[in-house]
A and B are shown apart, each in its own frame.
Chain A
């Protein structure tokens, strides 16, 4: 084995330029793959986390059908005791109850139709980033108080300030007319105008009074921190739900179906590109190895007439390719890792990325993380295809006739 290895190694360096060019092709695509995959998967992770932690949570307990229709009547009865018992059961998770409705919100000069969420002031900060985005005032306090927090863009449009009163007009759970006056105690600024203009929050107790909820709400949000283990948690939560009413537990994929699919759509186009890249490298290797076999026809003829079998010669060619492949893999992964690491420290941005990023709850500058998966996935695939590409020249050796081969120039 040692001898074969030495032979293979020396054969490679008979044409250093050629070997480096072929290895260079592998290194180039490996570097690119490491960087792209790190960037891509990092982005997906952030996209999921930021989107879910902003408001949706990882799991929600709702009445059946609420997820599609979002009707006021599709309620979870006795929602506060339910949330309380869940908090006792799953002390590690952040859990909060919410109710949601629509209202025409009016200031002195303006009116806007907008979604109103009734939240538990004590627990909401655990399931949503919104309380952390307050630019003025404070978050909701007392669960019964007539208080409201609104977005900065909405405040501007309504021409109101902290401390002003807003009138809420809507329809209650039973379809009756619901009206109330609430004080603005806080203004949040998420930086995304549409979001700021689409959500307002009031304390859950106050919400229940105004909209005649009779102790009910619309969903219990569970923020599990990350999407790992959500499935198991979902099963455990389902198991402890009260039996006296029909309830369902939805996971984040059901709550935000677009998210998973956006990632899938992006992934499929990315994998198409990676595939092309890998195949191009394989062609390059195939060409090199074929040439290196052809130019050694004479030499192979001699060693075969001395008794070396085509099978062993084929293994020699494969070994040569593997050495090149390993070289490309290691150098590519290391350089790709360093390249990515540089961006990890300095951040990666692309002109126009900030507008696109904001749409997906992503920061405008991105810091890709190198992981074992992103470091090895691409290079290993390239390596496999490299060796596969060398099979053709290696198998060609079986057709070689020693005498004819020796006569070849």
Chain B
């Protein structure tokens, strides 16, 4: 331990013998670390937002459907689970932030001018509040008030296309399980805005009971969705739901339902690591170079220390400690700077300049960077471990010097 204290002091002083060189290297490490962590935070934010947006439409972290529903999302594939049974099962448990049952079928919406294909969501607005991407309070007009509300809420973009507005009537056409056309007139009671415009064209909301009546399906529903606290870990919700359903229908996690979003998350993890390693490699050339130089200009001194009885292993240790010290300082400053850079962006960065492009990637146009502790740790650990490995070679060379030769070297 005493020896280590000496090594640390020696290393520290050696670092500042050529302060210019050390500072330049330090600057490079700081910049590299900053870039690693900052960029990762931006990317993480993007993906999280994307997944969160995706789930808000899917929606639900765990979903229950008829086994055939996913390939054939029609009225023929319904499940029957009563809301009473669900509230009894989930009601007591505080772990579940929300659940809802809904009808979700394709339909055609027609105004006096136009018709469009949409996805009809028959919902109970009281269950949906936390689940849907629609902000009830921001709806022009009003959102649905109950499951047997007779109105319909459509997207603003769809309303423009259909040439309709709040208070006007539209006709919704779909089919019942016997393939009889099921249609009904609705009064438009609200227009919603979504952060991804495609949603405004794709979804319309009607009361669940009203929809069930229109489609003549009794109290059956298309899906049950359960929302957990964290989309990254939905196992508790999944297990609890599986237990309730007990083989009566198909229970899936969101990752299994949306392959694109699911792979985005894992691709992201891989990308973070690749990015950190690439930056490190770019740094490593400079790092090794600095160490080689530091060893080279101290050959005589190293020889002297060896001649005075310092063991080669301690020379090796000294060079490595020097390198790790340099890296640690750089990492600390770089991490702090990255944290500082993320702070002013906490409330979101507006990317609406490329908004439609972001939509194409499945993201909304406001970016919230996400600084994950695990990424910070990953970056720091990777740099320290690889930095240790990179400094082995110059340190090893230093330890191999013959004292006599080294001392006499000019």
Contact = CB atoms under 8 A, between A and B. Distances in A.
A175 interface: yes
A351 B262 CA distance: 12
A162 interface: no
Contacts of B362: 359
B175 A277 contact: no
Given A175-B113, A356-B263, A356-B264, A280 B173 contact: no
Contact of B28 (A108, A273, A280): A280
A24 interface: yes
Contact of A350 (B72, B267, B353): B267
A307 interface: no
Given A28-B281, A295-B297, A284 B360 contact: no
B163 A113 contact: no
Nearest to B271: A350
Contacts of A72: 113-114
A248 interface: no
A260 B354 CA distance: 9
Interface string A15-39: 1011001101100110010000000
A113 B116 contact: yes
A138 B116 CA distance: 28
Nearest to B267: A352
A71 to B, nearest CB: 6
A264 interface: yes
Interface stretch (A285-293, A309-317, A319-327): A285-293
A71 B71 contact: no
B31 A276 contact: yes
A70 B278 contact: no
Contacts of A269: 39, 42-43
Interface string A100-114: 011110101111111
A170 B116 CA distance: 9
A261 B355 contact: yes
Nearest to A198: B117
B107 interface: yes
Given A265-B351, A273-B275, A284 B114 contact: no
A157 interface: yes
B141 to A, nearest CB: 21
B289 A284 contact: yes
B21 A71 contact: no
Interface string A191-225: 00000000000000000000000000000000000
B133 to A, nearest CB: 19
A281 interface: yes
A69 interface: yes
Nearest to A23: B285
Interface of B is mostly: helix
Interface string B100-125: 00000011111011111110000000
A69 B111 CA distance: 14
A355 B259 CA distance: 7
Nearest to B160: A69
Interface string B222-251: 000000000000000000000000000000
Nearest to B25: A287
B130 interface: no
Contact of A25 (B160, B264, B286, B359): B286
B48 to A, nearest CB: 16
A107 B182 CA distance: 15
Interface string A154-178: 0011000000000001110001000
Given A73-B113, A101-B115, A284-B289, 7 more contacts: A71-B114, A103-B108, A111-B179, A171-B114, A273-B275, A284-B282, A352-B264
Interface of A: 15, 17-18, 21-22, 24-25, 28-29, 32, 68-73, 101-104, 106, 108-115, 153, 156-157, 169-171, 175, 257-266, 268-269, 272-273, 276-277, 279-281, 283-284, 286-288, 290-291, 294-295, 350-353, 355-356, 359-360
29 contacts: A18-B293, A32-B278, A103-B115, A106-B175, A106-B179, A108-B179, A111-B174, A111-B179, A157-B72, A157-B74, A261-B354, A261-B356, A261-B360, A262-B356, A262-B357, A262-B358, A262-B361, A265-B351, A269-B42, A276-B31, A276-B39, A277-B279, A287-B21, A290-B20, A290-B24, A291-B18, A291-B293, A352-B264, A352-B270
